[in-house]
Amino acid sequence: MSPIDGVPIAIKDNYLTEDYPTTACSGALPLERQGQDATIVANLRKAGAVIFAKTNMHEWAYGATNSTSSFGATRNPCNPGRITGGSSGGSGAAVAAGIVAAALGSDTGGSIRIPSSACGVYGFKPSYGRASRHGVLPLSWSLDAPGPITAALDDIIHLMPFICGDDRNDPATFHSPAFGQIGLVDRPRLINLVGEGLERSDDVDAGVLSALRRSGADVAHRGLDGMSAYFAAWEAILHCEASSYHAELLARNPSGFTALTRAHLEAGTRISGVELLKAQRIRGQLTRQLNGLGDRDALVLPTLPVVAPRIGDDWQSFGGRQVTTQDSMTWFCWLGNLAGLPCISIPCGRSPEGLPIGMMLMGRHGQDEHLLAVARWMDRRINADA
Amino acid sequence: MHKMPDPSGLSEEQLKEIAATLKRIREGLECADRLVASEPSHVFAPKIQDAI
């Protein structure tokens, strides 16, 4: 028997599943079975997991609130007046509510980590190229990464061997090693990223700093130049790739997309080739700058700059800034997608009003096992009493 | 004089949303000039170039 034999797992509605329709929670796709499993779903099924249900998501994963879906908005089990965040909000809610021990999500700018943080559970985005995207409807193929959301960190470790590895149907995974053992680490060295473009609310800042102190990790604090340029690069690549993927369906069935998604897709068609190439060059620079930050086991940030926003609130204020709720959700997370890094969100405390706060750790590309070892070291110290 | 409708068929509000998105992207890319001055265009993040 495998460690996941008989375990019910919920699947985000952008993964193809043989026995359920796959709609990406969009009105543009028919409510019909596709008769095929995504590679990861097939691997889980083969290992004995029970594919339990499909979960709600932000339409086409093109947003981070989970307020836009053909099946309606998702509510946060920690407080039904709050959003779950998205785009894997249904997966985060299903795990947080105790319906399943684990669910699959996908992450283009934080869509696994955001609902994990907002709902008080664990979410892991593997390095780009470690987990097969085959059969996962794309948002932006060079930023997308599939991964799990779970109630416990060890459950991520149990699942990863069935999620990572070389898949002949996804060229990005070619020569990707099988998932290895999670070793033991000594007191990890972390770089806490702070400064312009990395602001966060006082409650979240206090929660993360308190958890870092409790953990006993060796923490240095550093800034990161060029945040607005890096964000522009991420956004340009996202919209261009999404517009390219959806062009045919959008021409055939424009009314199947919500007005907001249509606007995003139209924006992608108005970005020039020169601008897109510049964005790709900026992406290379980000990788180099992160590598130059110094010796460390992981970078650390809050997963979100705010706790789960109230349903209906369109704006968030924190750190002297006022930003849309959408932008507040991806505020830190997109960095990991632009550089293709493994990232994990772990719960690290509660705000004074009782809402979960998440801490994000970002490792080095391809070193997913080491990042999980660091996360386990941290989790055992931060959440020892949980 | 009537304004010509946008050929995309999008509403005024959607067009404003698009203009704001594009403005933000272009301003961000412009302020990146010093970052990419010495950056060869063929070097992207590890593995990601394989999928582009």
Residue A71: closest CA among A47, A50, A87, A95? A87
A210 assigned to active site: no
The three-class DSSP label of residue B32 is coil
Provide φ and ψ at A171, rounded to 5°.
-55, -30
pLDDT of residue A43: 98
Distance (Å) from the C-alpha of residue B39 to the closest C-alpha of chain A? Answer: 6
Residues 4-43 of B with CB under 8 A from A: 8-11, 13-15, 17-18, 21-22, 24-29, 31-32, 35-36, 39-41, 43
Question: Looking at the domain assignment, is residue A318 inside a domain?
Answer: yes
Question: Looking at the domain assignment, is residue A376 inside a domain?
Answer: yes
pTM given for the model: 0.94
- B48, B49, B52: best to mutate for the A interface, most A CBs within 10 A: B48
Are the C-beta atoms of A173 and A130 separated by less than 8 Å?
yes
Question: Looking at the domain assignment, is residue A180 inside a domain?
Answer: yes
Name the active-site residue from A26, A69, A87, A132: A87
The number of distinct structural domains making up chain A is 1
Which pLDDT tens digit goes with each residue over A227-248?
999 999 999 999 999 999 999 9
Question: Looking at the domain assignment, is residue A230 inside a domain?
Answer: no
* Contact at CB, B17 and A263, closer than 8 angstroms: yes
Question: Looking at the domain assignment, is residue A367 inside a domain?
Answer: yes
Distance (Å) from the C-alpha of residue B1 to the closest C-alpha of chain A? Answer: 26
Question: Looking at the domain assignment, is residue A179 inside a domain?
Answer: yes
Question: Looking at the domain assignment, is residue A289 inside a domain?
Answer: no
Determine the structural domain holding residue A322 and report its residue range. Answer: 8-223+296-382
Question: Looking at the domain assignment, is residue A325 inside a domain?
Answer: yes
Mean pLDDT by 10 residues, chain A (386 residues): 96 96 92 90 98 97 96 97 98 98 98 98 97 97 97 98 96 94 96 96 98 97 94 97 95 90 94 94 88 91 98 96 97 97 98 98 96 98 88
Q: Which CATH number covers residue A190?
A: 3.90.1300.10
pLDDT of residue A245: 96
